[in-house]
C-alpha cells in the first residue's frame, strides 16, 4: 500500500503535450502535481497558458530549475523541445528523480543517427544505453518498471509501429516493400511554432505532404521495426499535415509473402494484442476514424488484403497528444511505479 501520492512534475508545462499531461494527471487517482515549469509563463498561474484549468488547484508555473524539480518530484515529465532533456537528464537522475522524456532525445540508440537526423550532437551519450523505449505494447514491461529514464515514442512512430509490428514479428511481409503514409492534425506541430504553414487560412481546407523523404521519425520507426523483425529495416514514410486539431491516421502498405485472408490476419493481430488494453483490432475493413480515439489513449487498427496485388493495407488511428504523447507517458509512469498500465487512462473518447 502506497503511503502518499506520487509527486509528479512537468518541465515545459505550457505546451500542448504539457497541457495534456496536466489534464490526464489531474484525474489520476495516485498522483499529485507538485511542479510545473515554463519560461514564457514563469511566475504565473497555468490558467494564463490554459484558461481551461482556471477551476483547478495547481502549482504556479516557474522557470525550470534542476534542484527545485528534484526536490519537488518523484518523477518528472520532460515536455520541452527536442534538445532540452539531454541537457538536464543527468543531474536530475543523479538527484534520484525518474524521468519520462516526451522529446526525441533518448529514442535513438545510436548518437550518430541522432546527429544525422536532428542536426545536432547528442550531449548525454552515456545515458542512451539505459533509456527504455516506452512503447508498452512492444517492450517488456519489466524494462519499463526498472527504468530510471524512459524515452516516450514519437506520435507517428506509435501509430506506424502498432500497425505493422504483428506482421513484422512473423516475417509475413516483404521487408523491402514497406510504405507508411500518415496524416496528422496541426497540434502535432506544437504550440510554439509560428509560421505560414500553421496559419488558419493556409491550412484550413487544405492538405499537404511534408518532410519527404527525410522526416525525423523515420529512423525511430526503422529502429523499432528492425528490433521486431530481427534484421535491418528501411521504410518509405510520408507524413501529411491536415486541417484537424488532433489525431493521426496512418495507412501502411506491405507485400505479403504468401496469400493471406484479411480474416486470418485480423485473428493474428487480435492474438498479438490480446492482453494490450489500449489496442483495439477492429473487423477487416471496418476502418477507424481519428474521432473514435479523440482524447483517449487507445489505438484502433483495421486491415484488409488487396488480393489482386497480394498487398496488406493496414490503418491505425491515435490521438497524437494522448497515445502519441501525454497518455503514453502516463501509461509508462504507471508501469514504472508498479501500477496497472491503464490507471487513470481509461477515458472514453470525446465524440463527435
Ligand X SMILES: NC(=O)c1ccc[n+]([C@@H]2O[C@H](COP(=O)([O-])OP(=O)(O)OC[C@H]3O[C@@H](n4cnc5c(N)ncnc54)[C@H](OP(=O)(O)O)[C@@H]3O)[C@@H](O)[C@H]2O)c1
Q: Is residue 192 involved in binding ligand X (CB under 6 A)?
A: yes
Residue 150: CB partners within 8 Å, gap ≥ 6?
99, 100, 101, 131, 132, 133, 134, 144, 329, 332, 336
Cα separation values, 312 from 26, 79, 166, 263, 285, Å: 41, 35, 12, 12, 12
What 3-state class would DSSP assign to 70? helix
Q: Is residue 59 involved in binding ligand X (CB under 6 A)?
A: no
DSSP annotation of 256: B
Shortest Cβ 64–ligand X spacing (Å): 7
Query: How many CB atoms neighbour CB 52 within 10 A?
Result: 12
- Binding residues for ligand X, total number by CB under 6 A: 28
Shortest Cβ 284–ligand X spacing (Å): 29
Q: Is residue 15 involved in binding ligand X (CB under 6 A)?
A: yes
Q: Is residue 236 involved in binding ligand X (CB under 6 A)?
A: no
Q: Is residue 247 involved in binding ligand X (CB under 6 A)?
A: no
List 27, 39, 261, 350, residue binding ligand X (CB under 6 A): 39
Please identify, using beta-carbon distances, which residue of 14 and 304 lies nearer to ligand X. Answer: 14
Helices 218-229, 111-118: inter-axial angle, 10-degree rounding: 150
Question: Binding segment for ligand X among 10-18, 65-73, 131-139, 164-172 (CB under 6 A)?
Answer: 10-18
Strands, E assignment, 22-113: 31-37, 61-62, 75-78, 98-101
Kindly give the pairing relationship between strand 98-101 and strand 149-151. parallel
Q: Is residue 102 involved in binding ligand X (CB under 6 A)?
A: yes
C-alpha span between 199 and 110 (Å, rounded): 36
Q: Is residue 117 involved in binding ligand X (CB under 6 A)?
A: no
Q: Is residue 81 involved in binding ligand X (CB under 6 A)?
A: yes
In DSSP notation, 185-225 reads -GGGG-SS--SGGG-HHHHTT--EE-STTT-TTHHHHHHHH
Q: Is residue 294 involved in binding ligand X (CB under 6 A)?
A: no
Shortest Cβ 149–ligand X spacing (Å): 15
Q: Is residue 9 involved in binding ligand X (CB under 6 A)?
A: no
Please identify, using beta-carbon distances, which residue of 97 and 262 lies nearer to ligand X. Answer: 97
Based on the number of CB atoms within 10 Å of its own CB, is 172 exposed (0-12), middle (13-18) or buried (19 or more)?
Answer: middle
Half-sphere exposure of 279 (CA within 13 A, CB side): 27
Q: Is residue 331 involved in binding ligand X (CB under 6 A)?
A: no
**Residues 75, 6: contact at Cβ < 8 Å?**
yes
Please identify, using beta-carbon distances, which residue of 16 and 106 lies nearer to ligand X. Answer: 16
Question: Binding segment for ligand X among 80-88, 125-133, 233-241, 297-305 (CB under 6 A)?
Answer: 80-88
Residue number of the CB closest to ligand X reads 15
Question: Binding segment for ligand X among 25-33, 141-149, 187-195, 267-275 (CB under 6 A)?
Answer: 187-195
List 6, 23, 38, 237, residue binding ligand X (CB under 6 A): 38
Please identify, using beta-carbon distances, which residue of 88 and 281 lies nearer to ligand X. Answer: 88
Q: Is residue 296 involved in binding ligand X (CB under 6 A)?
A: no
Q: Is residue 12 involved in binding ligand X (CB under 6 A)?
A: yes
Cis peptide before 350 (omega within 30 of 0): no
Please identify, using beta-carbon distances, which residue of 92 and 321 lies nearer to ligand X. Answer: 321
**Residues labelled catalytic:** 155
Half-sphere exposure of 109 (CA within 13 A, CB side): 10
Shortest Cβ 38–ligand X spacing (Å): 3
Q: Is residue 155 involved in binding ligand X (CB under 6 A)?
A: yes
Give the residues across from 173 on adjacent strands.
Answer: 256
| Site residues (vs ligand X, CB under 6 A) | 12, 14-18, 38-41, 79-82, 84, 102-103, 154-155, 187-188, 190-192, 320-321, 324-325
Amino acid at each position: 500500500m502506497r503511503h502518499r501520492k506520487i509527486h509528479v512534475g512537468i518541465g515545459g508545462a505550457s505546451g500542448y503535450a504539457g497541457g495534456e499531461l496536466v489534464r490526464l494527471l489531474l484525474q489520476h487517482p495516485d498522483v499529485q502535481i507538485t511542479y510545473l515549469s515554463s519560461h514564457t509563463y514563469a511566475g504565473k498561474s497555468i490558467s494564463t497558458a490554459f484558461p481551461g484549468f482556471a477551476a483547478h488547484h495547481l502549482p504556479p508555473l516557474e522557470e525550470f530549475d534542476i534542484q527545485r524539480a528534484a526536490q519537488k518530484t518523484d518523477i518528472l515529465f520532460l515536455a520541452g523541445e527536442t534538445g532540452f532533456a539531454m541537457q538536464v537528464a543527468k543531474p536530475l537522475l543523479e538527484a534520484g528523480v525518474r524521468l519520462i522524456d516526451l522529446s526525441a532525445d533518448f529514442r535513438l540508440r545510436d548518437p550518430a543517427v541522432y546527429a544525422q537526423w536532428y542536426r545536432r550532437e547528442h550531449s548525454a551519450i552515456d545515458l542512451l544505453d539505459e533509456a527504455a523505449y516506452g512503447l508498452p505494447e512492444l517492450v517488456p514491461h519489466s524494462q519499463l518498471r526498472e527504468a530510471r529514464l524512459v524515452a516516450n515514442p514519437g506520435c507517428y512512430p506509435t501509430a506506424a509501429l502498432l500497425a505493422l509490428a504483428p506482421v513484422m514479428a512473423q516475417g509475413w511481409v516483404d521487408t523491402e516493400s514497406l510504405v507508411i503514409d500518415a496524416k496528422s492534425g496541426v497540434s502535432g506541430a506544437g504550440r510554439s511554432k509560428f509560421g505560414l504553414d500553421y496559419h488558419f487560412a493556409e491550412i484550413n481546407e487544405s492538405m499537404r505532404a511534408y518532410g519527404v523523404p527525410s522526416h525525423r521519425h523515420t529512423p525511430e520507426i526503422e529502429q523499432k521495426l528492425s528490433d521486431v523483425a530481427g534484421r535491418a529495416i528501411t521504410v518509405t514514410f510520408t507524413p501529411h499535415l491536415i486541417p484537424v486539431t488532433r489525431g493521426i491516421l496512418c495507412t501502411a502498405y506491405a507485400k505479403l509473402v504468401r496469400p493471406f485472408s484479411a480474416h486470418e490476419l485480423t485473428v493474428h493481430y487480435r492474438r498479438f494484442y490480446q492482453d494490450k488494453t489500449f489496442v483495439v483490432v477492429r473487423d477487416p475493413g471496418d476502418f477507424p476514424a481519428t474521432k473514435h480515439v479523440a482524447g483517449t489513449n487507445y489505438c484502433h487498427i483495421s486491415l484488409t488484403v488487396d488480393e489482386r496485388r497480394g498487398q496488406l493495407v493496414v490503418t491505425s488511428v491515435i490521438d497524437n497528444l494522448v497515445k502519441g504523447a501525454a497518455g503514453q507517458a502516463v501509461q509508462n509512469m504507471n508501469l514504472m511505479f508498479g501500477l496497472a498500465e491503464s490507471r487513470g487512462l481509461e477515458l472514453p473518447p470525446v465524440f463527435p
